[in-house]
Amino acid sequence: MKVVYHERYTQVYENDPAAAPGRMEAIIQKLKGFDIVVPEPAAVEDIQLCHTENHINYVQRYGSVYEMALLAAGGALRVSELALQGEPAFGLIRPPGHHASADSCWGFCFFNNMAIAIARLKSQKNIKTALVLDFDLHYGDGTANIFEGDSTVTYFHPEDSHRQDFVDHVARFLEQNKADIIAVSAGFDRHIDDWGGLLNTEDYRTIGQEVKKFALKNCEGRQFGVLESGYNHTVLGDNVRAFLEGMA
């Protein structure tokens, strides 16, 4: 299992919970034993696969945030490359991305890391279809908007209000679908000690196992995830590790 991570992701680039000091450190210290891969920033041409020139110029005006957003997108691209080779991989990246649409963004996001990774895999004809599982507390409107009308990309955001129903819903959906690759927008703010107050740590392990099962059954093991949310630093690392152990 590979973890794509850059030391620059610890940089506090904004005054929001996703950019809070200590957040990335709380995760990486729990991931001992995983192979670390260092990414490069995405090229502007990669960003243009999903975002307009106006939006890119808008983010560019943020200065250091723009550099971090390119590095986050680059992390997602590297993760998708590893997954294409059948290597389970996770992007421990920030800023997050699933609230970034083609020409707008909100919710601590700037560029849509997940959408950019999927779009490049498709543009290079490495895949024909993709399934994006987004278990973040919040609906990834940016991802859904970017792929709206594209029948080759399935976006799934479960919203059950009971813990076991949520986990079972994920399992049923994955059992009923197929794709050339499965990608996960991994938001950990549904945890019982985070904003959502629903899932426990072992639920993330179970979801990771369901992702692995889908990948082995449908797409020769091609699976990857990227970090979205998760704001309680005392439990975040354990939750990420549980999910990765499930995938691995």
Give the pLDDT score at 245.
98
Q: Please, what sign has the CA dihedral across residues 223, 73, 94, 134?
A: negative
**Domains of the chain, CATH where assigned:** 2-247 (3.40.800.20)
The backbone torsions φ and ψ at residue 63, rounded to the nearest 5 degrees and listed phi first, read: 70, -110
Cis check for the bond before 95: say yes or no (omega within 30 of 0).
yes
Residue 95: name the closest of 108, 78, 80 by CA.
Answer: 108
Give the pLDDT score at 169.
98
- The Cα 118–Cα 129 span in angstroms is 9
How long, in residues, is the chain?
248
* Alpha-carbon torsion, ordered 32, 38, 41, 43, to 10 deg: -120
Give the pLDDT score at 63.
87
Give the pLDDT score at 191.
98
Tokens 């278990």, residue located: 135
DSSP state of 223: E
For residue 168, what is the enclosing H or E element? helix 163-175
Q: How many CB atoms lie within 10 A of CB 130?
A: 25
Task: Judge whether 72 and 39 are in contact, CB under 8 Å.
Answer: no
Task: Judge whether 59 and 111 are in contact, CB under 8 Å.
Answer: yes
**Would you name the residues annotated as active-site residues?**
99
- The Cα 207–Cα 218 span in angstroms is 16
Map residue 185 onto helix, strand or coil.
Answer: strand
The backbone torsions φ and ψ at residue 188, rounded to the nearest 5 degrees and listed phi first, read: -105, 20
Which amino acid does the sequence have at 159?
A: E
Reported in sequence order, the residue ranges of 27-177 that DSSP labels E, i.e. its strands, are 35-37, 89-91, 130-134, 153-156
Query: Is-above-0.85 flag for pTM?
Result: yes
Buried b / exposed e across 197-220, counting CB within 10 Å, b at 16+?
ebbbbebbbbbbbbbbbbbeebbe
Residue 88: name the closest of 236, 221, 232, 229 by CA.
Answer: 221
248 residues of the chain, pLDDT tens digit each: 999 999 999 999 999 999 999 999 999 999 999 999 999 999 999 999 999 999 999 999 988 999 999 999 999 999 999 999 999 999 999 999 999 999 999 999 999 999 999 999 999 999 999 999 999 999 999 999 999 999 999 999 999 999 999 999 999 999 999 999 999 999 999 999 999 999 999 999 999 999 999 999 999 999 999 999 999 999 999 999 999 999 99
Q: How many CB atoms lie within 10 A of CB 22?
A: 11
